[in-house]
Structure 1
Amino acid sequence: MSNFSFSPQCSTPGRACHDKKGKCTKEYLCCPQTLKMSSKLVLYDRATNIKFIRIGSDYKNTYRFYELNLTSNNHATHDNYARWVFFDQTLRDLFEMPNARFWQSIVNCLQSYGIVYAYVPLNATSITANISALTVLTRQKSLFDDLYICYMVTRKEHRRRGLGTLILQQIVQRALDEQRNGIKHVTLHVNTLNTVALELYERCGWRCYQYLPTYLDPDPHHATNHAYALILHLEKVKNVTGLCRNTNAVDINPQHDRQSIENCRRVPAQLRE
Structure 2
Amino acid sequence: MTEILRLENVSKSFGGNHAVNDVSFSLEEGEIIGLIGPNGAGKTTLVNLITGVHPLTSGKVIFAGEDVSKQQAFQAARRGLARTFQIVQPFPNMTVLENVAAGALFGGGTGSVQDALESAHQELKFVGLDAVADTPASALALPNRKRLELAKSLAMRPKFLLLDEVNAGLNASEIDGALDLIRKIAARGVTILIIEHLMKVVLSISQRILVLHHGELIAQGDPRTVIEDPQVVEAYLGSKFAARVKAESHHV
TM-score by length of 1: 0.32
Higher relative contact order (CA 8 A, sep 6+): 2
TM-score by length of 2: 0.33
